Amino acid sequence: MKNHSSSLPSLHHSSLVSALALLAFLAFASFGLAQEAAAPAAAAGGAPPAEIQHARTLWDVIREGGWIMVPLAFISMWCLALIIECAIRIRLPNFAPADIIRQLKEAFGEENYQQAWRVCKAKSTFLTNVLRTGLERIGRGRTACETAIADHSLKESMIYRTKVSYLSSIGVVSPMVGLLGTVTGMIKAFHTLGSGGIGDPSKLAAAIGEVLVATATGLLVAIPAFFLYYFFRNRLQSVVVLAEDVINQLMVDVKYDELQGIKVGESLEAELAGGAPVAPVAAAAPADLSKRVSQAVSGVTVNCPQCNAPIVAGAPKCASCGSELQWS
């Protein structure tokens, strides 16, 4: 597990740098392609090539793309926002923070499951949200606990999968929007030919420029969106698997048979808030009757070492058999 967690952040860092480099390349490519598309249009109007290179700006190229550039601009900004959010959130330190794992290992090592629940409650992450659901059902047996963990793990991962899937939608929609600009530009070009012939080539060149700029912009939004969709989808799968491995390692030594009926979670916190806090317990019973039932769990309901009846931690004697109990 340590090997995975130490190598994954560096891999994510290098992958993120590669993705940003690709976006920068595509941005420069779109500017260069748009200038090449606009140059013939201006040249057809009789302007010298030297003046074309000095007069054209990015804003001129965007305006030449026509009205379709407005929805494409909104789509590209949405795509950029999704990329930044996924790059920040879909990382192993966010899914399973190292300090949280350390605190949980200490609580599980002491069999203090209520304290482990408190650690999960204090900070919302993929690891803590999934594990907290399992801890709240730990007294119902292994099957109920593992089912709750699996179901909530799927629910938590679907939240991130939905975000990532928007990049795929952008990759599909952007070329269609660019194609709409292509169609409108062609309609304008043929209307110019039909109304004025080729007497005014600048109008025809402007319409053709709108076709090329709209098409190129749609593709230049879709290509990085598709690439980063698969990139973040694979990263999400890897961090979910690693976080679930941490949960499995924590739960592997839980003694479910000894924990039947105990309370962990909000209900126990409410009970503890109504009275004095109870220290960790340890039943003082003979060796042959010293069955330890979650004795390190603060304030939970445990079984009497004499008659196995449920008792509240800290009680002076068992209500069923009357045995006097000592608590450390």
114-139 pLDDT, tens digit each: 999 999 999 999 999 999 999 999 98
Residue 261: the pLDDT is 85
Residue with the two structure tokens 């110019």: 192
pTM for this entry: 0.64
Token duo for residue 217: 């912009």
- Residue-wise pLDDT tens digits, 287-325: 333 333 333 344 456 667 666 666 666 666 766 666 777
- The answer to whether the CB of 44 falls within 8 A of the CB of 205 is yes
Residue 242: the pLDDT is 95
- The answer to whether the CB of 34 falls within 8 A of the CB of 213 is yes
Instruction: Name residues of the chain where pLDDT drops below 70.
Output: 1-56, 58, 192, 196-207, 209, 275-303, 305-316, 318-322, 326-328
From start to end of the chain, where are the E strands? 301-303, 310-312
Within a 13 Å sphere around the CA of 153, how many CA atoms are in the beta-carbon half? 22
Residue 85: the pLDDT is 94
**DSSP label at 90?**
S
- The answer to whether the CB of 116 falls within 8 A of the CB of 131 is yes
